[in-house]
Chains A and B, each alone.
Chain A
Amino acid sequence: MKIRKYRELYLGRIFLAFIISTIVFVLFFIFAYSISYLNYQKISSQSGIIENSIVNFEETLGDFECNNELLIDASERFDDAAQKLNLLEKRFGKQDRRVLELKERYSELEYRHFLITKKFNLECNTSYITVFFFYSNRNDDKEEESERMGFILTAFERREAEKIMIYALDFDLNIGLINGLKEQYNVTRAPFVVINEKDIVYVRHINELEKYL
C-alpha cells in the first residue's frame, strides 16, 4: 500500500532534513554575524563623527569661548559608543583585530577629550571632575569587578552629568597611550579609577565618590 511504502522510505527524508537543518543553522549564524558587522560599521562611523567633532572643537579652541556644549555632546557620544564597543567585544572576542583597532582609536579620542576638559578647567573657570577608569576583562573575576565599578561610575555620572567626565580605558590594551597613563598615575592593576589625576581609588560604593563633588 502507498502509505506503508511511504513510511518505510524515510531515509531520503532524513537526508533531506539533514541538508535543510544544516543550511538553516548556517544561515542563522550568517544573519547574526551580518548584524554584528553592521553594528561594527555603525560604531566605526560613529567614531568618525566623534573624531570630526573633536577636531572641530580643537580648531575652535584658538578663539576659545568657553562654550561647553560640544564638550558635553562628545562626552555623551563616548558613553554610547563605549557601551556598543563593549557588546562588540563580547560578540567578536577580546582579541578581534577590528575590536582592538576601534578600542585604540577610542582611547586616543578619549585622551584628546580629556586634554580639552583639562584646558576648560584651567581657562574657563569650570571644575569638571575627570575620571580615568582602568577596567579589565581579561578573566571572569576582573571582568565582574570592573563591571561593578563601571556600574557605580555610570550611576554617578548620570546623577552628576554636568560635573563629571569619565574616560574608560582597557588596562590590558597594550598601546603607548594607556601604558604611559598607567605609568604616569602608577596604576598597577585593574579595576581602578584615577580622579582628577591624583587620587587612585578602588570604588566599592557610590558614597565614596561624593567627596569629590
Chain B
Amino acid sequence: MEVYSFLVYALAYIGLFLLSFYLLSFYQLRKVKIPEEKTDKTVSILIPAYNEERDIARTLKSILSIDYPKNKLEIIVIDDGSKDKTLEIARKFSSDRVRVFTKKNEGKGRALNYGLSKAKGEIIVSMDADTIVGKDALKKLIARFYDDRVMAVTSAMGIYKPRTFWQRVQHIEYYLSVFMRKSLVGINAIYITSGAFSAYRKKFFDKYGGYDEDNITEDLEIALRIQSHDYVIENASKAAFYTVGPATFYQLLMQRRRWYIGLMRNLWNYRRKLFGFKKGALGTIVLPSVVVAVIASIILVIYSLTKISGEIASELDSLNAVNFQFYNIYEMYSYMLNQFFYVLFSHPMYLFAIFFILVTACYLAFSRREMQFKEGLKVDFVIFIAIYSILFVFWWLVSLFYIGFNRTVKWGKK
C-alpha cells in the first residue's frame, strides 16, 4: 500500500473513532437533565471595543433587549483607545446599566482586565463589540453554571448575515463547531471559550488572575487555564449569538493566522499540564487528535494538490495530442464519467469521503435545529466542502511560516 493510501485510511480510521466516541458521549449526555433557563446570578458583560463605530450601537441594542432581570445585569464597555467614533456612540447608551470607560490602546487582554476590575457580577460574560445576541441566550448560558466546578460556559456561534464568499465559508464552519462543542462537553474537553460570547465565574479570575495580556488568543488561554486546574467548561448549544465574520480573504487570513499561532503557542505552553492520561479524554484523545489532524491534513492536501495538478497537466497534454475541440467535450469525457461512478462505490477511499461528507451534513442539520436557523445552507455547504480543506491547510502553512521565522503577530480586528 502506498504512503498516500496508508495516510488516508489511517486518517479515516481516526475520524471514525473520534466520531464514534463523540457521538457516544453526545447521546449519553442527553440523558442528564439540566435546567433550560436561569436568572439566579448577577452578571457583568464586558465589551472591549477598538474602532467599532460601525457595529457597537447594534451590539448594545441587542444586549439591552436581552431577557434578563435588570437588577442583575450590568454592561461594561471598555473603549480601547479607538480612533473613530466608538466612544462617542457608546456613551449615548450610558445609563445605570451601561457603564462606558475609555483607556489608551493596549490590546484586548488588557481591556478585558480593565473591565474585570470594574465588574461586580458573579458571572463575567466577555463579548465582542460586533456580536448580536439572541434574546434568551444569557438565561441559557447562566443555567449551565449548575455546579461549583463549572467555571465557564460557551455558547453557539454563527455568522451575522453572511454576504461575501468568505463569510459563507465561515458560516458553515461556525455551525459545524456547534455540534463539536456539544460533543466535547460530554467529556469535559472544550478547549476554547470564544471571546465573542462566553461566560466565566468571576471567582476564577480572582483566584487565578485575569486574562493573559500578552496572549494573542486570550480566550483560548483562559479555557486551557480552566482545564489545567481541573474545572469544567460547559456548553449551552441553544444560546445563540452571531458575529460579523471577516469579509475578505485577507481579513480572514489574518484572523486565522492569529488563531493558529495562538493555538500552537498555547498548546506548547500547556503541554505538560494538559497532555497525557491524567487529563482524561482531553489529554489522551482530543488535544492529540487536533495535532494529528493538522499534520495529516497538511500532508494529504499538499500531496493531493501536487498529484491533481500533475494529472491536469498530463490531461492537457493528451488533449493537445488529439487536436481536442471543445464541442467534443461530452463525447470524450462521457466514458470518464462512467469510470468515475464505476470506481466511486468500489473503492473504500471514496466511500469514506462520501460518508464523512454526509456526517458533516448531519452536524450542520443539528446545528441549524439548535440555533433555530431557517435559511437554506445548501450552496454554502457545497462551497465549504469544495474549498475548506485547501483553505485550512493554506492558513496553517502561513501560520507555520510565521512561527518558523519567529515573526511577530499582534492582536488586530478579530
Contact = CB atoms under 8 A, between A and B. Distances in A.
A1 interface: yes
A155 B342 contact: no
Contacts of B21: 13-14, 17
Nearest to B342: A87
Interface centre among A148, A154, A155 (most CB of B within 10 A): A155
B96 interface: no
B62 to A, nearest CB: 31
Interface stretch (B9-17, B193-201, B253-261): B9-17
A83 B187 contact: no
A207 to B, nearest CB: 7
Interface stretch (B37-45, B213-221, B317-325, B371-379): B317-325
**What's the dominant secondary structure at chain B's contact region?**
helix
Interface size class of chain A, counting residues whose CB lies under 8 Å from the partner chain = 35 or more
A13 B24 contact: yes
A83 B339 contact: yes
B333 to A, nearest CB: 11
A16 interface: yes
A3 B32 contact: yes
- What 6 A-B pairs have minimum CB-CB distances, sorted nearest first? A17-B21, A155-B322, A17-B20, A21-B16, A21-B17, A35-B346
12 contacts: A3-B147, A6-B186, A7-B188, A13-B187, A14-B285, A31-B351, A87-B342, A91-B343, A148-B314, A148-B321, A155-B324, A158-B332
Given A4-B149, A4-B232, A6-B29, 18 more contacts: A3-B34, A8-B280, A13-B21, A13-B25, A13-B187, A16-B20, A17-B21, A21-B20, A24-B20, A28-B355, A32-B351, A35-B345, A36-B346, A83-B335, A84-B342, A152-B322, A204-B321, A206-B321
Interface of B: 12-13, 16-21, 24-25, 28-29, 32, 34, 147, 149, 186-188, 232, 280-281, 285, 314, 317-318, 321-324, 331-332, 335, 338-339, 342-343, 345-348, 351-352, 355
